[in-house]
Structure 1
Amino acid sequence: MELRVFTEPQQGATYDDLLAVAQAAEELGFGAFFRSDHYLHMSGDGLPGPTDAWTTLAGLARDTTSIRLGTLMTSGTFRHPGVLAIQVAQVDAMSGGRIEFGIGAGWFTQEHTAYGVPFPGTAERFERYAEQLELITGLWSTPVGERYEFAGRHYQLKDSPALPKPAQTTGRRGGPPVIIGGVGKRRTPALAAAFADEFNLPFVDEETTAAQFGRVRAAAEAIDRDPATITWSNALVLCVGKDEAEIQRRAAVIGRDVDELRVNGLTGTPEEVVEKIQRFEALGTQRLYLQTLDLADLDHLRLVASEVMPHV
């Protein structure tokens, strides 16, 4: 089981805050540093304000050396897909090929209103999302010297040189690995089967995990894709302590109830969370994204690295 660090900087974080976590994660042996792509806090005051996901990752590409970097999830509503393809390719090159590209349709209405970003209805967002996946991977996979064209309902490209190219070409359709996630029962599994190198489930229980993994596997088999070519992952809130007092203290800092977190998160003593990780592994989970909400508490990551990671 690979353990990755996942942050939510819209709650209030500077670039230096994120850099400290990313460098600690790299030093401690976590598999990757990921961040959300949001522009508005969801609780608290959000001070000092949000940071942009791809600006952050560009900085981390130069300020780290080996850890993989990515988004859960880049919002398809924020950037034109042609421009996003350029941004991700450039950051991948800046990192020496360490980027993983999580992308979703977007969902948080209030952040769009707060910053004047158009927010279409659900049906249109998913139409755009499907076109974005086709278009971005198409730009990356077009051979150098050839031209790319795309004629969709929402996006049209003509005579594109499809440059620059990412450093990586290991993704299913070329370029960095693509991560798709969510609990939708029809469109999400179909898109994951067609485009995803990794399928991720955020903040769901074991029963939901088993059911949705099954839907994605079935969708892959329906297009003659081996489900074993997909990496399977979950994201869970992290709240680990060496004893009950430390668990309670960490839960209080992030404003969560310990009993609720024990059900819905990855919470407890190292022994408790190892047991829960093993249950997810039995369902097929290969990676866990540890949602780390208190970015100042680097001892939290050190505890996981020393007392959990060696046992999973």
Structure 2
Amino acid sequence: MAAAFGTVFMPEMAISWFDGSRWSPSEMVQSNSISLHPGAHVLHYSSTCFEGLKAFRHDDGSVHLFRMDKNIARLAQSSRLLYLPELSEEMVSDMIKETVARFADEVPSPPGSLYVRPTHFGTEAAIGKAAVASSESCFFVLTSPVGDYFAGGDKMLRLLLEDNGMRCAPHMGMIKSGGNYASALGPISRARDDVQADQVLFCPNGDVQETGAANFILIDGNEIITKALDESFLHGVTRDSLLILAKDMGMTISERDISVTELLERAAKPGCEAALSGTAAVLAPVGTFIYQGKEYTVGDGQVGQTMLKLRTALNDIQWGKAEDTHGWLTRVK
């Protein structure tokens, strides 16, 4: 039986430490442990952010990172919004490329890939700094070879629509921070136990936003509907990529607010599709909405053809089977 996604790691990772005035030279260290003072800021006040991107092996054996620049920019933004020490985007780029190049021979062939997890967190030992940012931090790049996310076939996801709560504080949504994921664990766990939902689609005051771990996309005919970017939810790189490809295909892109009422009305239409977008799965199909004790089938409840077309188009670029017309790939080896 294959290991669970993201549970196998390369034996080394790149790491650098900020001591309050400068970053240490990057070095490769064992990835099975890290030493922290028990008073480290991150352990008490969640001063942490991270990214998720992938490296792909092409048929000629070369290895390419997908939209690394976009992920690095978002990591730098998350760090600024958490008031962590400033990250040099050049340093981050070099450490990512160094780590992936070191294990280039271990990058799985399609449909697998090498998952890359750059992480930045506060390390200052000061438990009295509940309202003060950490002046010291650590940055590392961890990698994990992963297989086909859909090895068992597409699973039609069940989403509980939650219109009373939020995934995280509104001003924190655009930060890819561990605390945001932790705050969603309770609602997701309850939804799984109570109604066998796979995820919770957070819709505060009826405004459809995102799930606990992915952006949400609705496909109605030739139109893609997804919430317009603001600070309340994560600005997904996969989401952005799919919208660009959909526009290339001549689809109508509607980035706007959508209510739960409109969502359920559209979902009832034949041919309507819903999906979650993210680095791991690219697009994962949604077959059922659960709202106020009732279940609503999305379209015909089957995997949508438009969703599959978009996912294939993105995968083909990532694996070098289609031309990279947008300059999204960075060759590492």
Query: Do these two structures clear the TM 0.5 threshold for a shared fold by scoring above it?
Result: no
TM-score scaled by length of structure 1: 0.25
Q: Which has the higher strand share?
A: 2
Q: Which has the higher helix share?
A: 1
Which of these two proteins has the greater Rg computed from alpha carbons? 2
TM-score scaled by length of structure 2: 0.24
